[in-house]
């Protein structure tokens, strides 16, 4: 599949990237070669290959969720730069 310079420009614009003309040509060639390789992989017969998410068996390695005693609120907040009504106070980052 051939990726055009226009396609590269469109994707670069969506990603807010500035690419020089040379970078656009290089990216178009690189992306085209990746898609050509994917087309080649599509030629393989995978009819008898079961779908998998991982190539090796995996198991849940998480511990059981057990309720334990927590640290006292005062101890948790004692080194906080700012606190308010028993909570950490952090700078506001969402603007109106």
What is the per-residue DSSP string for 18-85?
---HHHHHHHHHHHHHHHHHHHHHTTS--TTSPP-S-SS-----PPP----PPPPHHHHHTT-SSEET
pLDDT winner (highest mean) among 25-29, 68-72, 90-94: 25-29
Domain segments of the chain as ranges: 1-43
Q: What is this structure's pTM?
A: 0.49
Q: What's the rounded mean pLDDT across residues 76-94?
A: 91
More confident residue, 94 or 33: 33
Q: If you average pLDDT over every residue of the chain, what do you get?
A: 90
Q: Which fold has domain 1-43?
A: Histone, subunit A (1.10.20)
């Amino acid at each position: 599949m051939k990726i055009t310079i226009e396609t590269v420009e469109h994707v670069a614009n969506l990603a807010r990237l500035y690419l020089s003309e040379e970078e656009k040509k290089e990216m178009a060639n690189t992306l085209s070669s990746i898609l050509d390789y994917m087309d080649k992989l599509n030629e393989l017969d995978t009819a008898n290959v079961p779908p998998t998410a991982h190539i090796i068996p995996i198991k849940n390695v998480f511990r059981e969720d057990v309720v334990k005693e927590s640290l006292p609120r005062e101890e948790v907040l004692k080194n906080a730069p700012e606190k308010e009504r028993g909570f950490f106070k952090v700078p506001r980052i969402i603007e109106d």
